[in-house]
Structure 1
Amino acid sequence: MPSVALAKDGAADPQESDFYKITTFETPKETALEVGSIDLLPDGKLIMGTRRGEIWIVSGAGSSDASNVSYQLFASGLHEVLGIAYNPKDKNIYATTRYEITRLKDVDGDGRADVFDNVNDSWGVSGDYHEYAIGSRFDQAGDLWVTLCLTGSFNSNAEFRGWALRIKPDGTMVPTCSGIRSPAGIGFDAAGEAYYCDNQGPWHGSCTLQHLVPGSFQGHPGGNIWYDKAPNMGPRPIDPIPAAFQNGRKRGDKTPHVDPGRMVTERERIKQLLPPAVYLVHGKIGNSASAIICDLSSGKFGPFSKQLFVADQSHSNLSRVFLETINGIKQGVVFPFRSGFKSGLIGGRMDEEGRVFTGGSDRGWGARGGKPFCFEKCEWTGQTPFEVHEMRAQADGFELTFTQPVDPAAAGDLKSYSMREFTYAYREEYGGSEIDEILPKITAAKVAADGKSVHLTISPLTKGHIHELHLDGVRSAEKLPLLHTVGYYTLNEIPAK
């Protein structure tokens, strides 16, 4: 793969746009196209659901000429289509709305839905504006997944709010995971494992990428009242300890300096509690994580095959996630990837040609992009950025691999690196700052013979902490700086020696 050599002889450092191009499409004048969900149709078309309850078929978005895009309204009058899925078996469209999954059929072939079938509406809705329902595309078993936001982000006043559900091909509902707060995206990795993004709030110090393992508790106890309606899930988890009960204190005690809990210690008490796979560090990676996109393009989107890309509504950006499994638990690292989208990203999907289609809205929260809504495409230019490709946990530090060979002198210099470790309190109050900071020592940086990897020896490694690694001094063999010089690794488990 070719690389870009722009930083020699005083030239400007490489920029994100050198490697990944964003195309902004004109959208239909008759609507505000607040994209909430996207899926692929045959013949290169897209199907998009919107926050305003419309479904649009899009043609020509894959063309190199943005003026070729065209839109056809397929359906309207639905309630927040935050999940859309095409089923190749029956050739119908399935929409996840706030209150149900709907199967839409175009019987007469005129491009408009004629039949709206209720597939499942077994969850509750109260009218509270927080009660979003985020739907997936079909998984490998033919199921649709739905993650349900709590009522007011604290409670579950409507049935199964705060849960992940699976809807089987016959329409039956299977309660699958509890402990969800405010989901805004759901997707699958290359192996078909399900994940969702939760947002900062009560019991969540930051946005997170979470692994949806059936039977797991994802951390927020507000929806656990529905365990008696989910016998397949087993016993209800014990509740995490509220801050007012920490250290033997009683609720109502106004003595200051209450020390709230930590996810790593509560995991020892609550057997069903599954920690976030990756903390999407608040204010640095984003503030409102949304769509999850897996690169299954076999290299057509660059060197990050099978990695995940996470959109953010607030920061109008995409971040990149590399995951691994240690002691049966998912964990990994998040890097900045591409900023500069025009509005807050909500829906996203990659096609087989490695084109990422995405869009969203700034309504309700605001977004860095500055536009009220958008529909855009992100494509690889064919130039390979110098980046950390993978960051893997080791018993004594981390193994880094790069997209290009490194300069051995720079990559082997301890001064090229720095690290800090921190975590968030696991508490019932909203959000929280970075706490328990540790400044470990990096004692060795061993460059592999092929120049593509570096082993960092670090002490201490801290279970449950985010390990923030800066690589400001690392250079490629062509003397280029890294395009992104920071990564945040969530160390749920430390590998055995």
Structure 2
Amino acid sequence: MRLVLCGIVCSFVIANVVTAEDPKESDYYPITTFEVPEGVVLEASSFQLLSDNQLAVASRRGEIWIVTDPFAKEVNASQFKRFAHGLHEVLSMAERDGWLYVVQRCDVSRLRDSNEDGKADEFEVVCDDWEISGDYHEYAFGSKFDREGNLWITLCLTGSFSSEVPYRGWCVRVTPDGKMIPTTSGIRSPGGMGANAAGDIFYTDNQGPWNGTSGLKHLIPGKFVGHPGGFEWYKLAENVMGPRPTEPESGSRFVVEAEKIPEYEPPAVLFPYKKMGQSASGIACDLSQGRFGPFEGQLFVGDQTFSTVMRVVLEEVDGHYQGCCIPFLEGFDSGTLGVELSSHGVMFVGGTNRGWGSRGKSPFAVERVDWTGEVPFEILSMNALSDGFELTFTQPVDATTASDPESYSLETYTYIFQSSYGSPEVDQTLPVIQSVIVSDDGMSARLKIEGLQRGHVHELKSSGVRSAEGLPLLHSEAYYTLNFIPAE
């Protein structure tokens, strides 16, 4: 008999059978809810950890609050002070040279506190070269500064289908001197933006026309990411983007249209609808050098409807990003919107239900996720091979269960690429897991599979796999979007 310590839960293991309560998410990543000042509706849309280790929190309602000592065991209302108000739906922030840059619905502005009284007293418009009509859909999300000092902005379509407002349905870049550069077309309804460890910019787009389900998309200058509703604005951007692409064929499939339209970059990762969420949101990359656990370099992506954060593992195949999504953490108090991961290894999560509803019952929330220091037994990554997938784990596996094909189940499906709203899962297949080879150190397993399907989500469940200590996986599901099958 062995005593296995997993956070605060103890499991007695006899012959690889867990006889006490299995570990749970909160044993590794507990959530702390901040106490917001009474009467304040703080629909936390984004965060910026400032150079003095105070935390700026933006509200969808146009306010910015500063939180002192956001790493304290408990954060109460007295630690909040309003820094600015009267802004227009701030959804992103970044700091540079003493200025706080904000992406609001109508522009990029910057503000600062010049007399050091804790309130912004200088406001400057950096760029307002796109337009708004007053339609409630016209969200504007921004990135942090890229390596050239640019901010990337995704501009939601006026409605789900088209737009008559310049540059709605586009990604643009704003340079350090305030110039706007049209960058990528095909945006529908973004929910957040962020860079991966290599500095490449991604955004989440949500289910609707030309989006069978929500997904993570790579923003590449000159490319088109799927929704032709903003094609009108090529007439303003031809000197940068060239002529408008061919419009995709409604009713087709992502990879079929990618073969026909050179400019089209299909989603890097699809989030299966009502399995991984319904409204993908903020993005944060773990660059904490292990301070947040074993997930260094991976992306964390929120979902507003499910009030969750998931993990995304990316790789490049044939010059394109693709990869898998894996559940990470549920139970946030409101619908997840803003997500930020500091170099300290601390995640800040903001929430709103905005009237749409969410699993989290509170109308808004400001929360923090800390790592306890205990490593959960998880699928660390899922990588494509020419004849299957390789799984790596956060802890050594039990070779008997992990090498048994019966410990796994696999199905595939895709979504219709169409102009109407959303799509069911279609073209389902059941590939055969022929064999599983576990590495000598027990940290990986190679699954040889007959029937890989290009362009499909491969939904893998590893419910029978146990760790060397007899524990089940904290999350047994992984969903890999196989746009390209690697060469042998």
TM-score (norm 2): 0.96
Provide the residue aligned with 1:107 in structure 2: 114
Shift of 1:214: 1.1
Provide the residue aligned with 1:296 in structure 2: 287
Question: In structure 2, how many angstroms separate the alpha carbons of the residues matched to 1:2 and 1:458?
Answer: 35
Match of 1:138, SS state, is coil
1:238 aligns with 2:229: no
1:196 aligns with 2:203: yes
Paired residue type of 1:236: R
Q: For residues 198-217 of structure 1, what are the structure 2 equivalents within 5 Å? A: 198-217=205-224
Shift of 1:357: 0.6
Equivalent residue for 1:278, pick from 252, 265, 269:
269
Shift of 1:494: 0.3
Give the total of aligned pairs.
478
Provide the residue aligned with 1:26 in structure 2: 35
1:44 aligns with 2:28: no
Q: For residues 80-479 of structure 1, what are the structure 2 equivalents within 5 Å? A: 80-87=89-96, 90-230=97-237, 231-242=239-250, 260-479=251-470
CA contact (8 A) 2:268 2:321 kept: yes
CA contact (8 A) 2:5 2:11 kept: no
Match of 1:57, SS state, is strand
CA contact (8 A) 2:32 2:74 kept: no
Question: In structure 1, how many angstroms separate the alpha carbons of the residues matched to 2:348 and 2:161?
Answer: 33
Q: Deviation digits for residues 344-398 of structure 1, max 9, x if unmatched? A: 1111211111110111210131110100000000111111110111111000000
Question: In structure 1, how many angstroms separate the alpha carbons of the residues matched to 2:243 and 2:159?
Answer: 26
Match of 2:467, SS state, is coil
Question: In structure 2, how many angstroms separate the alpha carbons of the residues matched to 1:72 and 1:33?
Answer: 12
Match of 1:489, SS state, is strand
Shift of 1:2: 7.3
Question: In structure 2, how many angstroms separate the alpha carbons of the residues matched to 1:470 and 1:237?
Answer: 39
Shift of 1:66: 3.0
1:496 aligns with 2:483: no
CA contact (8 A) 1:101 1:118 kept: yes
Task: Quickly say closer, same or farther: Cα 1:367–1:68, change in 2 above 3 A.
Answer: closer
Question: In structure 2, how many angstroms separate the alpha carbons of the residues matched to 1:275 and 1:411?
Answer: 33
Question: In structure 2, how many angstroms separate the alpha carbons of the residues matched to 1:52 and 1:387?
Answer: 38
Task: Quickly say closer, same or farther: Cα 1:67–1:130, change in 2 above 3 A.
Answer: closer
Provide the residue aligned with 1:249 in structure 2: none
Q: Once the two structures are aligned, what percentage of the paired residues are identical?
A: 52
The more displaced of 405-414 and 28-37 is 28-37
Provide the residue aligned with 1:248 in structure 2: none
Paired residue type of 2:241: M
Listed as ranges, the gaps of 5+ residues in structure 1 are: 243-259
Match of 2:396, SS state, is coil
RMSD over equivalenced CA pairs, Å: 1.3
Match of 1:267, SS state, is helix
CA contact (8 A) 2:101 2:111 kept: yes
CA contact (8 A) 1:2 1:384 kept: no
Question: In structure 1, how many angstroms separate the alpha carbons of the residues matched to 2:355 and 2:127?
Answer: 28
CA contact (8 A) 2:143 2:151 kept: yes
Shift of 1:40: 1.2
Paired residue type of 1:235: P
Provide the residue aligned with 2:80 in structure 1: 71
Question: In structure 1, how many angstroms separate the alpha carbons of the residues matched to 2:485 and 2:384?
Answer: 7
Provide the residue aligned with 2:19 in structure 1: 10
Provide the residue aligned with 1:62 in structure 2: 71
Match of 2:256, SS state, is helix
Paired residue type of 1:290: S
The more displaced of 417-426 and 151-160 is 151-160
Provide the residue aligned with 1:247 in structure 2: none
CA contact (8 A) 2:35 2:77 kept: no
Question: In structure 2, how many angstroms separate the alpha carbons of the residues matched to 1:64 and 1:376?
Answer: 12
Shift of 1:61: 1.2
Question: In structure 1, how many angstroms separate the alpha carbons of the residues matched to 2:345 and 2:242?
Answer: 41
